[in-house]
Amino acid sequence: MSLPFYYFSYLNCLLVKGHRYTITIFLTIKVFLLKHSVKTNLKQSFKHSLKLGNRLQKIEKMVATQRYGHIWDCCCDHGLLGCALLNRQASNIVSDIHFVDIVPELMAELEIKLQRFYSSSSNEVIIKNWKTHCLDVAKLPLDQYDGKHLVIIAGVGGDLMIKFIEAINKQHHNLAIDFLLCPVHHQFSLRSKLIELDFSLKDEVLVEENQRFYEVLLVSSSSAAEGKGNNKISPVGNKIWQSDSIKVSLSQAEIVDKYLNKTLNHYQRMQKGLQQSNKQDNQQTKTNNANVDVQHIIDAYRAVTLASLVS
Ligand SMILES: C[S@@+](CC[C@H](N)C(=O)[O-])C[C@H]1O[C@@H](n2cnc3c(N)ncnc32)[C@H](O)[C@@H]1O
């Protein structure tokens, strides 16, 4: 073969080789970009799925993370609230966030999401300061963790919350625990139980979301007598009805007004129903109904109208 042919073949080989390198580099970059964009998309869709509604936003705002060593997002479901608290802390980690739910599938799914989202966090601490627990809220292992605890329970009924709080309080009576509570119903019985347990009030707000109303209570297991000022819990609420907040915002005044009417209507209907069935039923039912008389609750809410709104 002639020399020019060798030169040609050699150059060709280099070109092909170079081309191969170019292709390899190109493919590597593409795979990297693809991986990165999949990761970014996953993170974005995870972040997007973490958008909080009015109710959870309000609850989240009431958490002063710097006060607590451990924050327990109980009955966490998809962990929206706990994630919002984690994200808020990203620049200044202070509390450990514990995600608690009784459904194993939910917790397994959440664990995977949290691993995926936070394991690549640039912040070393955020990688470590969360933990998932698949367990009954009544059995929180608070004594295994040093520091002040905040137990958040939202999205379940006040009746179930009473069971959780009684169990936690009994098991950890030596600890001063803060509870942030947002029951979906049975607010009166929950408040009555908190009073019976001699808890004290730190804050309370009323929030509306999708035409439903929610009371949010920040309370402490320490006695009201130990604190300063008016930190007693009222069975119907106090600050949530105050005219101060009405002056601040007209829509809040409407929310307060609607909520009071709705609550009164609810108990008045219940009272009518009880009276009807009392008339119709036999003596046994009468005895049972006597235990669930709600006139005192109606009276308490009527007093709210007289004390705060009308004045
Ligand atoms: C409606 S979700 C509330 C989600 C969220 N906290 C909120 O407020 O939107 C109720 C959750 O409570 C959980 N749950 C019910 N009983 C429980 C218990 N005994 N211990 C722990 N979680 C419980 C359910 O599995 C469910 O995920």
Q: List, in sequence order, every beta strand (DSSP E) within 23-109.
A: 70-74, 96-101
Would the pLDDT of 5 be above 60? no
Residue 311: the pLDDT is 39
Q: How confident is the model at residue 298 (pLDDT cuts 50, 70, 90)?
A: very high
Express each pLDDT in 205-239 by its tens digit: 999 999 999 999 999 999 977 777 779 999 999 99
Helix intervals (H) in 50-102: 54-61, 80-89
Token pair listed for 24: 């390899």
Ligand 1, atom 17, residue with closest C-alpha: 102
Integer Cα distance of 181 and 142 in angstroms: 17
Token pair listed for 239: 């600050």
Ligand 1 touching residue 77 (CB < 6 A): yes
Ligand 1 centroid vs 258 CA: distance in angstroms? 27
Ligand 1 touching residue 152 (CB < 6 A): no
% pLDDT > 70, the chain: 71
Token pair listed for 64: 């002063």
Ligand 1 touching residue 76 (CB < 6 A): yes
Ligand 1 touching residue 293 (CB < 6 A): no
Express each pLDDT in 145-185 by its tens digit: 999 999 999 999 999 999 999 999 999 999 999 999 999 99
Residue 160: the pLDDT is 98
Query: What are the sequence ranges of the domains in the chain?
Result: 1-49, 54-238, 251-309
Q: CA nearest 140: which of 104, 106, 165, 176?
A: 165
Residue 282: the pLDDT is 60
Q: What is the mean pLDDT of residues 70-86?
A: 96
Please state, as a whole number, how many other Cβ atoms lie within 10 Å of the Cβ of residue 132: 24
CA 175 from chain center: how many Å?
22
Ligand 1 touching residue 190 (CB < 6 A): no
8 A C-beta contact, residue 82 and residue 99: yes
Ligand 1 centroid vs 275 CA: distance in angstroms? 34
Strand 70-74, strand 96-101: pairing: parallel
Residue 168: the pLDDT is 98
Integer Cα distance of 220 and 160 in angstroms: 18
Q: Which atom of ligand 1 is found nearest the CA of 182?
A: 8
| Mean pLDDT score across all residues of the chain | 82
Q: What is the mean pLDDT of residues 84-110?
A: 89
8 A C-beta contact, residue 140 and residue 100: yes
Integer Cα distance of 178 and 261 in angstroms: 30
Q: How confident is the model at residue 25 (pLDDT cuts 50, 70, 90)?
A: low
pTM above 0.85, yes or no: no
Q: Which atom of ligand 1 is found nearest the CA of 59?
A: 8
8 A C-beta contact, residue 233 and residue 199: yes
User: Into which CATH architecture does domain 54-238 fall?
Assistant: 3-Layer(aba) Sandwich (3.40)
Site to substitute for ligand 1 among 73, 101, 159, 216, most atoms within 8 A of C-beta: 101
